[in-house]
Structure 1
Amino acid sequence: MPRRLDPDEAALWKRVAATVTPIARRPVVPVPTTPPTVKPPAPRPRLAAPPAAARTPAPLPPPRRTHSAATLDGHWDRRLRKGLVRPDMSIDLHGHTLASAQALLEESLHRALLRGARVLLVVAGRLRPGADRLPQMHGDPRPRGAIRASLPDWLAFSAFADQIVALRPAHISHGGAGAVYVILRRSRDD
């Protein structure tokens, strides 16, 4: 359902609409009932094409990891759903631009891996339906929910993507729909 315009926006829209002149309608040309007879063009002699140089295919981008679909053992998933897992670290991305939020996420992942953390709680706000498709409005730096919508892509293409095991929604006690758990791979020296 589209949102309604507030009174200021409605007044602005009326002023803009008043400055527009409609496009003149073109008369409809009737379609002839019998198609005109067209003589087919004479075939042109074919020229031999020069041999094509062998092209090397463009390199493929690295495969995208989907951490949301990654499987954990049932014990981990049950404990996460019930809120029994306490995050080792947490970061809050509220109030950041997309660029600064992504930089903070990368830095926090690096710090978490250095500390040997297993669960990083990322508070990013609720994901708004269609947040990634909303146009950017004047005066609004980004659509609502854009950071939360970008999280899976940022994590998939992160320098630490191979160290991320899974991405799960947070329990209500840790932020609910406005936060996610990033499950990190256990370090080998443990």
Structure 2
Amino acid sequence: MARRRRGLSAEDKALWSRVAASAVPMHPGRKPEPPLPETLAPPPQAPRAVAPPPPPLALHDLRIGKLAAAPASRVALSPSPPAMVHAQPLRMDHKTHRQMTRGKLAPEARIDLHGMTLNIAQPALTRFILQARAEGRRLVLVITGKGREGGPDAPLPVRPGALRHNVPHWLHMPPLNQVVLQIRPAHRRHGGEGAYYVYLRR
């Protein structure tokens, strides 16, 4: 790409005139060469606004394989399934609820969603709950699995177990919310954190 020639300033022209006037021609008989055509200087441009440089990285931001510190609002996740389930008000008989949470009530039916995709698990859960209600069952067990959790070196916050997170939401949505009375995490003898007790309405 050819460079554009810049024009001479007034000071440069005056200096060149003085040098040219004091110069002695080497060949007096030769016709003087015509002066070089002046090039027009480009119009001055307004200076561009320069964005301020980014702030320097803190030392903890440079650790390889570590999650850099970030505002809590950026990494905050919705409430975990156990927290959401425990926040549900008690709607069933207190004595029956205590026996259920202690694992002293045997589930009358169970479904294992572990390993299913969300698209397959949701309709399977809906059919199971509605069928159990039609058969007059009260306590059923829904197995989701615990799911994988992101370790301390995970690049992003990871929600443990998509099924474990979504099943309580599905049970609170139509049509299941009309037949489900109570949801609680299962006792360890029935799967612990990887399963839910679902107590159905009469």
TM-score interval, smaller chain: 0.5 to 0.7
Q: 1:70 aligns with which of 89, 106, 120?
A: 89
In the alignment, structure 1 residue 152 sits paired with structure 2 residue 168: yes
Q: 1:164 aligns with which of 180, 183, 192?
A: 180
Runs of 4+ in 1 over 6 A off after TM superposition: none
Moved more, 149-158 or 175-184: 149-158
In the alignment, structure 1 residue 107 sits paired with structure 2 residue 127: yes
Output the CA distance in 2 between the equivalents of 1:166 and 1:135: 36
The alignment covers a number of residue pairs equal to: 117
In the alignment, structure 1 residue 81 sits paired with structure 2 residue 101: yes
Q: 1:121 aligns with which of 129, 136, 141?
A: 141
Structure showing greater Rg? 2
Instruction: Report the Cα offset of residue 73 of structure 1.
Output: 2.5
Structure 1 unaligned residues grouped into runs of 5+: 1-25, 30-65, 137-141
Report matched runs for 1:89-100 at 5 Å. 89-100=109-120
For 1:179, the equivalent position in structure 2 comes to 195
Sort the Cα spacing of 1:168 and 1:127 in 2 relative to 1 into closer, same or farther, 3 A. farther
CA RMSD in angstroms comes to: 2.9
Instruction: Report the Cα offset of residue 80 of structure 1.
Output: 1.2
Q: Alignment identity in percent?
A: 37
Instruction: Report the Cα offset of residue 70 of structure 1.
Output: 3.0
Sort the Cα spacing of 1:147 and 1:28 in 2 relative to 1 into closer, same or farther, 3 A. closer
Structure 2 unaligned residues grouped into runs of 5+: 1-49, 54-83
